[in-house]
Each structure stands twice: as structure tokens, then as C-alpha cells.
Amino acid sequence: MTQALLEVQDLHTVFATREGKVKAVDGVSFELNPGETLGIVGESGCGKSVTALSIMRLQRPGKIVGGKVTFKGQDLTKVTESEMRDIRGREMAMIFQDPMTSLNPVFRTGWQVAEPLRLHHGWDSKKALASAVQMLGRVGIPSAAERARDYPHQFSGGMRQRVMIAMGLTTTPAVLIADEPTTALDVTIQAQILDLLRHVNREFGTATILITHNLGVVAGMCKRVIVMYAGRVVEAGPTTDVFANPKHPYTWSLLRSIPRLDAERHEPLKPIEGLPPSLVDLPTGCAFHPRCAFKVERCSRDVPALQPVGDTQLSACWVTQAGAELKGA
Amino acid sequence: MIGQSRVAELELPGAAIEGASTRPAQSYWNESWERLRANRIGMAAGVLIVIMALIAIAAPLFSAVVTHFQPQTIDLGATFAKPGAPHFLGTDELGRDSMTRLIWGGRVTLGVAFLTVAVSLTVGTGVGMLAGYYGGWLDDVLMRLVDTVLAIPAIFLFILMSILFRPTPISLALIIASVGWGNVARLVRGEVLSVKQRDFILATRSIGARDLRLMFRHLLPNVLPVLIVAASLGVGQIILIEAALDFLGLGIQPPTASWGNMLTNAESYFFHSFWLVIFPGVTIFVTVLASNIFGNAIRDAFDPRLK
């Protein structure tokens, strides 16, 4: 087995709020192998983004209170802030959900894309800009040399997301974290950006963590997927297996709630009943049990750990760990 | 025909669909400048202030070439001269040429105003930036300091200071700025609090920028518009404050001329030599009005939403 590039072990991130401690990330573990694209899915507020931000130690005002993030042999939760700055933007880059607001409105795009090169390689403006222009061309910005002189508001959403990706790639990082990179874009542009991310992954060998709530995106992009619920990983495994034969009722419900072309004509969509739990006041036992169609008595008592279920998958569910199949109306 | 070479150089499918913008590069600054230029009254006010400043800077030249008088030359044979040749704006009770004193006084008054604005802006921006960016206890400490400074009754502070130190233009500017920075700090802090919530700040941190670079290279330009507006509106206010202090004898001391202290003695002679009151008074009025109009024009140009 290959050595993991990035290994997250039992990560805990909390936010102190007036209502109490919010455990946004509550014992998340996974690894990212070199060159792979890993999907993280889950509903809004399940801790996907905070997990990503915690990896880069950008979770402020949240606090990492436990766990390890091992990257190239270093525990990122332990390195100094200045060592962390060296890793951000050089070894790990991040793209955000809303390309409309993630570029600084007062600077020309070329200057912004060149910023990591000036910061990390100490290149002068001219050299950095030349490299930035080249990178803008490579991510599919037409007439990149002229466009580098434009300001962000002169770009469309899709083009801005390309600019963000270019900015992330100038220093050829080992890890690219894409936090809902297509959520704010319309469908045709989504496809283009996903194409670009796939291309980047092949061309640069950049390992990618793709965070999304869109299962279709995961199916098309990722070999492996982890499913998060209420700050925990509830299922993990190869995308094809997880989708074909989910081992956690949450994944099972998610898959049933998306429209399918092969469904019966009048078969209604089946939404997951109820709302995700408040992270301040989690239910006892498995956090999903109040919404779960398969719950047994034990589910409201004990928290299930993530255990192998079947040959390739991991699941945190008492029901499937006991060998039961998820089938139902 | 779309150039085939261009299509060929694209590596990716679909990129050509979005196409390049044909609008010329228009920065925020360019657009604001265009809006400002279109505002004729605002521009006129701005030009007036620039002309005043230029005349003040060139005061010795004017003395030598235009008025042929020095600001402090006493001529007891020509006291209370009416406006006309050779004293275009008349003379005061000591026979000093009013126009010359007005021009030299502008040097002092405008100099104090610009210096005060520069100092309060620098200190206020620094404090507001630190408080807004770091938040937490630093924010609490700095903002309570600002509250304290702004709670000091300014006029008593000025009186006390002018007793302790003999006011010179520089010390006067520092004294006025010592309370003026508080408002700037509040303004900047508020702006920083709103800008730092935006994604691009997180994005900039995610590429490994250190705090100081983030604050002063990436954040400051986003705060600059409110600073420019504060500066241009501030000049008028400071001129009024300074004139009031001079008038009360707490500011610039005679025989050095300033617009404010030219009025100090003039009030006693108002009924037989009204020009001694009118000319400095009108000069202060026009300059403050121009500064306010220009300040408003700048605000409209930089932030059309506020209009």
C-alpha cells in the first residue's frame, strides 16, 4: 500500500459560542493518497468545510482540540504558525465556494495569481507575473496576458473560479482542497470547472480533496469518498461501492433523495425526514438515529465507531455492523 | 472568424464559450475618478482648495511680486487703510497689509489642517486596523482608549495644552490630532470588521500571507476609500477648530498671522473697518465650504451607494 500523503487522525475542532461548545469536527479520520481525488460529502453544517480549514489551520475562531494532521511526516497541528504559513500556498492550496468574493476586488487578477510566488519563492513582480500569466493560460483563460490586467469584477463566475485555481496551482502544491468549488456556479460552468479540476489532477499530480454536497459530482470525480454527518465520518469507501451498496443509513437516505432517470414515472423523491441535529446539543448515541429508518434500541445509547463493514467500506452504524442489509420502502 | 490559432492554444474544452471581455480594463480607482470628474461643483471645490494651497506655498513669492509687503511689517502711518491700491484688502490697526497676512496666514492655517489630518489618519488607521483585525482583548483595550480620548472635553484640553506649550503650527497640529485620531480609528475598525469577513481575506491567508502583509497590502486598499473621504471632510473641520482656537488666543500667537488670529483684534474695529473681519471670515468660510463640498463629491465618487 502506498504511503498516505495526508493523514487526518481523530481530528476535533470546536467553536465556543454563547449556547455552548459546538463540536464542528468530532473525531474525523481519513487519509489522502498522492495524486488521488477524495470526495467529502454531507449536508450543510456537517463539518466538511471546518475539516478542510482545520487541515490548513485556518479554522479561526474555532480551535483544534485534539487529533493529528500528518503531512509529509509533520503533525500540522503542532508546527509553528510561521512553518504553517510556509505550507499554506506552497504545499497546500485551497479554493472556495464563492468565486465572486474570494478574489480581492482592488487588485488586478495577474497580481493576485502571482502573490503565492512572491510570498513563497521570493520572486520579483515581473517574474512572478510572467509565471502567473502562463498559469492563467493553462487553466483555460483566453488571452491570459491581457486578462491578467483585468480586475476580478470583469470576470464571470466560472472565469473567476479558474483564476482561483490558477492562484492555487502557481506553486504546484501537493494538495488542493476544493471547498464546494462549483456550488455557486451554474450547471454548464460547473461541468467546465470539474473538467478543469480533473485535468489539473492528471497534469500536475495534485492530490485533491473535493468537498461537496452534490453526490453527482463525487460520482464523476472521486475514486474514494467519505460521508460526514454532524461532525463525524459515518461512511467511507470506494465511490462505486458506497453508491451501489451504502453501509450507513444516512448515505442510503441521501442516495434515495436524489432524482434518478431510471425511477418509476410517478415515484416521488424521498427526502430525509427531519433536520440535521444542532451541533450544540447532539442526540445521544448515533447522531443520525432520530432520522434513521433502521434504528434499533442501541442506537440512542451508544455512539458507533467507524468499523469495516463488507470488504471495502467503513461504516459507523450498529445495524450494518451487525450484518444487516439496508433495504426498505 | 474566430482565430483558429487562439482556439488551438486552449488546453481545455469549453473555455472559449465564456469568451474574453471586450470592456477595457476599468479599475475601481479609474471609475471613481471618472465619477468625480463628472461632478462639476465638486471638482471646482477641489480645484479651489488646490489653488489656495498653491498660493499658501508660494506666499513669499506673492509677497515679493504681487503685494510688495511683508506680513509683519508695521506701518503706523497707514493704519486702517481702506481696500484699494496699494493695500488691495486694506490694512489693520498696525498698518499691516491684510492681503499679505491672509496669504501667509493661509500657510499656517492650511499647513496645520493638512498636518493634523495626516497625523490623525496615520495613527487612527494603525489603531483601527489592529483593533479590527485582531479583535479580542486588543480590540477591547484599543477601543476603550478611543472612548476615553473622545470623552475628553477637547476645548479644555486645548486650553491646558496651550498653557503648557507655546503653540506653534506643529504643536497645534499634534494637539488637535491627539483627539482627532479617535474618530478615524473607529471608522477604520468598522470598515476592517466588515472587510475581513469577506472570503478573499481567508483566501489570502490560505496562500500563506503573514498578518502584516494581509493588513497593509491586501486589506488597507479596501479601506482606503473611507480614509480618503475622511481626509477630505476632515480638512474643513480642522480649519474651523484651528480658527476658533486662534480667535480665542489659544492657537497660533501673534505676530504670526493665521486666519483665526486675524479675526481676534478685528472684531473691535468691525464698525469702522469691516474689511478686517470680512476678508479672513470669508476666506475661512469659502475654504471650509469648498472642503466639505469636495469631501462630499469624493464620497459620492467612491461609494455611489451612499448618495
Residue B1, pLDDT above cutoff 60: no
Domain annotation covers residue A230: no
> Which residues of A are less than 8 Å from B15 in CB distance?
140-142, 162, 192
Residue A171, pLDDT above cutoff 80: yes
**The predicted structure's pLDDT at residue B9:** 41
Residues of A numbered 58-117 whose beta carbons fall under 8 angstroms of chain B's beta carbons: which are they?
A: 58, 82, 85-90, 93-94, 96-98, 101-108, 115-116
Tell me which of A197 and B85 has the higher pLDDT.
A197
CATH number for the domain including A135? Answer: 3.40.50.300
Model confidence at B305, pLDDT cuts 50, 70, 90, reads low
Contact B14 A107 (CB under 8 A): no
For range B98-105, the mean pLDDT: 87
Contact B11 A199 (CB under 8 A): yes
Range of the domain at A51: 6-222
Nearest to B11 among A102, A105, A140 (CB): A140
CA of A52 to nearest chain B CA: how many angstroms apart? 11
Name, of A273-277, B206-210, B268-272, the range with top average pLDDT. B206-210
Q: Are residues A200 and A256 in the same domain?
A: no
> Which residues of B are less than 8 Å from A85 in CB distance?
208-210
**The predicted structure's pLDDT at residue B26:** 59
From B16, which residue of chain A is nearest by alpha-carbon distance? Answer: A142
Contact A140 B200 (CB under 8 A): no
Query: Could you read off the pLDDT of B161-203 as tens digits, one per residue?
Result: 888 888 888 988 999 999 889 999 999 999 999 998 888 999 9
Label the pairing between strands A307-309 and A74-75: unpaired
ipTM of the complex: 0.88
**The predicted structure's pLDDT at residue B290:** 93
CA of A203 to nearest chain B CA: how many angstroms apart? 11
Residue A137, pLDDT above cutoff 60: yes
**The predicted structure's pLDDT at residue B189:** 95
Q: Are residues A43 and A142 in the same domain?
A: yes
Residue A236, pLDDT above cutoff 90: yes
Query: Could you read off the pLDDT of B17-33 as tens digits, one per residue?
Result: 444 444 455 567 777 88
Of A83, A98, A104, which to mutate for an interface test with B (greatest number of B Cβ within 10 Å)? A104
> Which residues of B are less than 8 Å from A164 in CB distance?
203
Contact A199 B12 (CB under 8 A): yes
Contact A137 B12 (CB under 8 A): no
Per-residue three-class SS string for chain B: CCCHHHHHHCCCCCHHHHCCCCCCCCCHHHHHHHHHHHCHHHHHHHHHHHHHHHHHHCHHHHHHHHHCCCCCCCCHHHCCCCCCCCCCCCECCCCCEHHHHHHHHHHHHHHHHHHHHHHHHHHHHHHHHHHHHHCHHHHHHHHHHHHHHHHCCHHHHHHHHHHHCCCCHHHHHHHHHHHHHHHHHHHHHHHHHHHCCCHHHHHHHHCCCCHHHHHHHHHHHHHHHHHHHHHHHHHHHHHHHHHHHHHCCCCCCCCCCCHHHHHHHHHHHCCCCCHHHHHHHHHHHHHHHHHHHHHHHHHHHHCHHHC
Contact A199 B204 (CB under 8 A): no
For range A130-134, the mean pLDDT: 94
pLDDT > 90: what percent of chain B? 33
Contact B208 A119 (CB under 8 A): yes
Q: Are residues A156 and A268 in the same domain?
A: no
**The predicted structure's pLDDT at residue A208:** 95
For range B269-297, the mean pLDDT: 87
**The predicted structure's pLDDT at residue B19:** 43
> Which residues of B are less than 8 Å from A163 in CB distance?
none
For range A219-236, the mean pLDDT: 93
pLDDT, averaged across chain A: 90
Instruction: Show which of A206, A222, A238 is a domain's final residue.
Output: A222
Nearest to B207 among A119, A158, A192 (CB): A119
Contact A85 B27 (CB under 8 A): no
Tell me which of B15 and A212 has the higher pLDDT.
A212
Q: Are residues A272 and A165 in the same domain?
A: no
Q: Are residues A209 and A273 in the same domain?
A: no
Spatial separation of the C-alpha atoms in residues B277 and A104, rounded to whole Å: 52
From B23, which residue of chain A is nearest by alpha-carbon distance? Answer: A154
Domain annotation covers residue A234: no
> Which residues of A are less than 8 Å from B218 in CB distance?
104, 107
Nearest to A58 among B16, B25, B205 (CB): B205
CA of B27 to nearest chain A CA: how many angstroms apart? 6
pLDDT > 70: what percent of chain A? 98
From A156, which residue of chain B is nearest by alpha-carbon distance? Answer: B18
**The predicted structure's pLDDT at residue A277:** 85
In the sheet that holds A74-75, the strands lie side by side as A20-32, A6-17, A63-71, A74-75
Q: Are residues A158 and A279 in the same domain?
A: no
Domain annotation covers residue A76: yes
Domain annotation covers residue A231: no
Q: Are residues A212 and A317 in the same domain?
A: no
Any CB–CB contact under 8 A between A150 and chain B? Answer: yes
Domain annotation covers residue A240: no
Helix B154-164 vs helix B169-195: angle between axes, to the nearest 10 degrees? Answer: 140
Contact A88 B208 (CB under 8 A): yes
CA of A323 to nearest chain B CA: how many angstroms apart? 43
Q: Are residues A166 and A307 in the same domain?
A: no
Instruction: Return the amino acid letter for A142.
Output: P
Nearest to B208 among A85, A97, A154 (CB): A85
Domain annotation covers residue A90: yes
Spatial separation of the C-alpha atoms in residues A272 and A255, rounded to whole Å: 10
Spatial separation of the C-alpha atoms in residues B290 and A165, rounded to whole Å: 48
Domain annotation covers residue A214: yes
**The predicted structure's pLDDT at residue A43:** 86
Contact A195 B222 (CB under 8 A): no
Residue B8, pLDDT above cutoff 90: no
Q: Are residues A47 and A93 in the same domain?
A: yes
Query: Could you read off the pLDDT of A46-94 as tens digits, one per residue?
Result: 889 999 999 999 988 889 999 999 998 899 999 999 999 999 999 999 9
For range B257-282, the mean pLDDT: 83
Q: Are residues A253 and A212 in the same domain?
A: no
Q: Are residues A195 and A59 in the same domain?
A: yes
Tell me which of B2 and B27 has the higher pLDDT.
B27
User: Which domains are assigned to chain B?
Assistant: 28-70+89-306 (1.10.3720.10)
Tell me which of A276 and A165 has the higher pLDDT.
A165
**The predicted structure's pLDDT at residue B5:** 39
Model confidence at A37, pLDDT cuts 50, 70, 90, reads very high
Q: Are residues A192 and A258 in the same domain?
A: no
**The predicted structure's pLDDT at residue A2:** 58
Contact A106 B222 (CB under 8 A): yes
Strand partners, B9: none
Query: Could you read off the pLDDT of B128-170 as tens digits, one per residue?
Result: 999 999 998 999 999 999 999 999 888 888 888 888 888 888 9
**The predicted structure's pLDDT at residue A18:** 87
CB B49 within 8 A of CB B287: yes
Contact B27 A154 (CB under 8 A): no
Contact A167 B23 (CB under 8 A): no
pLDDT, averaged across chain B: 83
**The predicted structure's pLDDT at residue A328:** 64
**The predicted structure's pLDDT at residue A274:** 82
Domain annotation covers residue A71: yes
Residues of A numbered 274-313 whose beta carbons fall under 8 angstroms of chain B's beta carbons: which are they?
A: none
Count of domains forming chain A: 2
Model confidence at A110, pLDDT cuts 50, 70, 90, reads very high
